[in-house]
């Protein structure tokens, strides 16, 4: 009697099936390996970026302490540079608090001062909007409809646009001591911001804004719409702007307009935030106002006055005035802010409280001007002492 195991081999169909699956998996593995080798051999490596990013002097980064060459680590320097630039925008020196203990604060913002000759030839897209003035209710209605063919960022090939709308009122120049009239300045009546459309170069907005406006003020008002690219660190890029003067336009019915975006003009915005001027007795019959002048090459170009504010130990203005600069370089210009005290309701018999000057040639005040020049399209606020 014998004991054995009755082994029944697999059928030919099962054997061929297992062999086919094995061959298929082997071919897939070989294909993946070949694809990875092809990616490694054909990928583009940045030339000179890593060395420039990791060294600060002229000495080659591959030199060791004893003269031996040290291989450079393969960092993802492109992404690191993008993050570094964004963080530098967020942590710019203009956002740091000032502890100078001075008595008067104002904010400066310089916009549209790039002098690149290729800016004008760059395609900026177009903006579609409508204007309507309701004579029965004395209201101006501005509707931002949409934009077309907006330029995208170079590094991400996308854009997150929104529209910043401002109503500007022209202030006629006054005669100075030499009889020459100043160029027209503008003050901001109202400003709005449309909704944000992410990742679209031809967005549709459909936002409507309205405000009360007297009929006799309509000819002196200009609607300025600025298309901006949203930035998470609040330093939005300017894609282009449109200025629509209401003088001569028939907007008694909704007027729809499509216009190409233009490069931003040379513009200087001065914001008067607070004035701290201590007084022995607080009198409600006294008021303060400020006169802001732009001087270039010792010649007064433009000036504008703020509204009257009742005087307190700390008088809050929160007003912004806008100046359109001429062809002179902004670095040769200066800003003077003169604060006057008058009786409430009138500007006669004014008394100078103090004056602050900002510009290239004003000593300690040059720091604020230098920060403004480094922070284009970004407000820089600082306190300044008032001198008599």
Q: What is the pLDDT of residue 92?
A: 41
> What is the torsional sign of CA 10, 12, 14, 20?
positive
> Which of 88-92, 151-155, 209-213 shows the lowest mean pLDDT across its residues?
88-92
What's CA 299's distance to the chain center, in Å?
Answer: 29
CA distances from 46 to 54, 78, 103, 155 (A): 14, 8, 51, 14
Q: How does residue 141 score in pLDDT terms, banded at 50, 70 and 90?
A: very high
Q: What is the pLDDT of residue 148?
A: 92
Which residue ranges does the chain devote to CATH 2.60.40.150?
100-113+267-384, 126-260
> Which of 97-101, 330-334, 341-345, 366-370 shows the lowest mean pLDDT across its residues?
97-101
Q: How does residue 307 score in pLDDT terms, banded at 50, 70 and 90?
A: confident
| Options 3.40.50.300, 3.90.1150.10, 3.30.1490.20, 2.60.40.150; CATH of 126-260 | 2.60.40.150
Does residue 135 contact residue 253 with C-beta atoms inside 8 Å? no
Geometric angle at alpha carbon 144, from 167 and 223, rounded to 5°? 20
Instruction: State both tokens at 208.
Output: 């409507």
Does residue 349 contact residue 381 with C-beta atoms inside 8 Å? no
Question: Mean pLDDT throughout 247-257?
Answer: 92
Whether 335 shows a pLDDT value over 80: the answer reads yes
Whether 111 shows a pLDDT value over 60: the answer reads no
Give the separation between CA 36 and CA 44, rounded to whole angstroms.
14
Query: What backbone torsions phi and psi does residue 331 show, to the nearest 5 degrees?
Result: -65, -20
Q: What is the pLDDT of residue 143?
A: 96
> What is the torsional sign of CA 381, 163, 124, 236?
positive
Does residue 173 contact residue 185 with C-beta atoms inside 8 Å? yes
Whether 157 shows a pLDDT value over 50: the answer reads yes
H or E stretch at 90: helix 77-90
The SS3 of residue 24 is helix
Query: What backbone torsions phi and psi does residue 112 show, to the nearest 5 degrees?
Result: 65, 35
Q: What mean pLDDT, rounded, does the chain reach? A: 74
Does residue 263 contact residue 112 with C-beta atoms inside 8 Å? yes
Question: Mean pLDDT throughout 111-130?
Answer: 62
Residue of 361 and 268 predicted with greater confidence? 268
Q: What is the pLDDT of residue 182?
A: 39
Residue of 119 and 370 predicted with greater confidence? 370
Q: What is the CATH number of domain 100-113+267-384?
A: 2.60.40.150
Residue of 178 and 278 predicted with greater confidence? 278
Give the separation between CA 383 and CA 360, rounded to whole angstroms.
17
Question: Mean pLDDT throughout 135-151?
Answer: 94
User: Please, which residues have CB within 8 angstroms of residue 365's CB and are 6 or more apart in sequence?
Assistant: 356, 357, 358, 359, 384
Query: What backbone torsions phi and psi does residue 98 show, to the nearest 5 degrees?
Result: -110, 135
Neighbours of 388 (CB within 10 A): 6
């Amino acid at each position: 009697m014998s004991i054995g195991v009755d082994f029944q081999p697999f059928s030919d169909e099962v054997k061929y099936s297992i062999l086919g699956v094995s061959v298929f998996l082997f071919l897939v593995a070989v294909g993946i390996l070949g694809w990875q080798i092809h990616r490694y051999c054909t990928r583009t490596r940045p030339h000179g970026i890593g060395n420039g990013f990791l060294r600060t002097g002229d000495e080659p980064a591959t030199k060791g302490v004893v003269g031996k060459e040290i291989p450079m680590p393969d960092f993802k320097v492109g992404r690191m540079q993008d993050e570094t630039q964004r963080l530098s925008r967020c942590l710019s020196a203009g956002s740091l608090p000032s502890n100078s203990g001075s008595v008067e604060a104002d904010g400066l913002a310089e916009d549209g001062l790039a002098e690149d000759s290729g800016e004008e030839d760059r395609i900026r897209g177009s903006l579609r909007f409508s204007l309507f003035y309701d004579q029965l209710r004395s209201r101006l209605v501005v509707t931002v409809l949409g934009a077309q063919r907006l330029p995208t960022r170079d590094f991400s090939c996308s854009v997150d646009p929104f529209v910043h709308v401002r109503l500007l009122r022209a202030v006629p120049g006054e005669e100075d001591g030499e009889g020459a009239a100043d160029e027209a300045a503008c003050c901001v009546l109202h400003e709005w911001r449309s909704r944000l459309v992410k990742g679209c170069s031809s967005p549709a907005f459909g936002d409507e804004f309205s405000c009360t406006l007297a009929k006799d003020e309509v000819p002196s008002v200009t609607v300025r719409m600025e298309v901006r690219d949203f930035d998470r660190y609040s330093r939005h890029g300017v894609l282009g702007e449109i200025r629509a003067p209401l003088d001569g336009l028939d907007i008694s019915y909704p007027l729809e307009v499509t216009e190409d975006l233009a490069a931003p003009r040379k513009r200087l915005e001065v914001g008067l935030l607070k004035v701290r001027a201590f007084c022995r007795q607080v009198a409600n019959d006294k008021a303060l106002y400020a006169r802001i002048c732009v001087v270039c090459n010792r010649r007064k170009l433009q000036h504008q006055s703020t509204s009257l504010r009742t005087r307190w130990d700390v008088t809050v203005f929160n007003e912004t005035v806008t100046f359109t600069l001429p062809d002179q370089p902004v670095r040769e210009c200066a800003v003077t802010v003169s604060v006057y005290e008058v009786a409430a309701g009138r500007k006669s018999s004014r008394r100078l409280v103090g004056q602050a000057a900002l510009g290239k040639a004003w000593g300690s005040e040059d720091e604020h001007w230098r920060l403004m020049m480094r922070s284009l399209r970004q407000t820089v606020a600082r306190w300044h002492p008032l001198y008599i």
